[in-house]
Every structure is written in structure tokens, then in C-alpha cells.
Structure 1
Amino acid sequence: MTYFELLQFLKTYQTFIYTGDRQADLDLMEEEIKELNRLGMIEKDFFIKALLVIRKERH
């Protein structure tokens, strides 16, 4: 999974993230992914991969 694929995935839940600040975007993406996981809307495997993509993009 790539950063772009993760953004596209979030759009399927009507979540559009672009603040102009890359770090803020990553923070928002992480919050959204954690919320989808908490609500049971995504698989655990997908959740882990998404967090890895976000953490990779931070560095």
C-alpha cells in the first residue's frame, strides 16, 4: 500500500485530507484510520499496513 492508495481509500469514506501541511495531513490520516479500526470498519491487517505507511511517510 502507498500513501496515495491510503488517501484514495479514505475518500471511500468521504474523508478528504489536505491541509497544505504534510505532518498535519499524516496526523489526520492516522486519527481517521484509528477511528475506522475502533468502529470495526476495517480489517486488523489493513489497519496495521495503513499505520506503517503513515509512519514511513513521517520519516
Structure 2
Amino acid sequence: MKTAYDVQLFLKRFGCFVYFGDRELELEFMMEELKEMFLSNLIEKEQWAQAMSILQNELTNIKRK
């Protein structure tokens, strides 16, 4: 995973389709979903950490604008 879109595709593999029309809300929702997936042992720590880092960077870029 290298982009927020890659994270979206990753979540889609688990049946989580994300589209609200508000990018900031989408990123926050994806972060929450990843957290729940990690706590439920559906994904590995490395996958969780990589995806969260990507989403956090994207969220920071959006909030700067």
C-alpha cells in the first residue's frame, strides 16, 4: 500500500466500501475500520501500521489546505 486509494482497495477486500463525498470523513472512517479490524485480529500489525500511516499523512495534508 502506498496511497489512500490503495487503503480503500484493501478495505474493499473485506467488504468495506467507503464513499461519503467528504474526504476527511472518509479518512477518519477508514482509520476507525482499520483499528477495529486490527483489534479483531483480521489484519496484521504491519498492515495496520502501514495503512494508518498513509491515512494519517493524507488527513494531515487535507487539514493544511
| TM-score when normalising by structure 2 | 0.86
Residue 4 of structure 1 and its aligned partner are, at CA, apart by 1.1
Q: Equivalent residue of 1:17, what SS?
A: coil
Aligned length: 59
| TM-score when normalising by structure 1 | 0.94
Which letter maps to 1:12? R
Residue 7 of structure 1 and its aligned partner are, at CA, apart by 0.5
Q: Which runs of 5+ in 1 are unaligned?
A: none
Residue 57 of structure 1 and its aligned partner are, at CA, apart by 0.5
Name the counterpart of 1:11. Answer: 12
Percent identical pairs in the alignment equals: 36
Is 1:38 aligned to residue 39 of structure 2? yes
Q: Equivalent residue of 2:41, what SS?
A: coil
Moved >3 Å (runs of 4+): none
Hey, what's the Cα distance between the residues in 1 that align with 2:22 and 2:9? 18
Structure with higher Rg: it is 2
Hey, what's the Cα distance between the residues in 1 that align with 2:56 and 2:28? 10
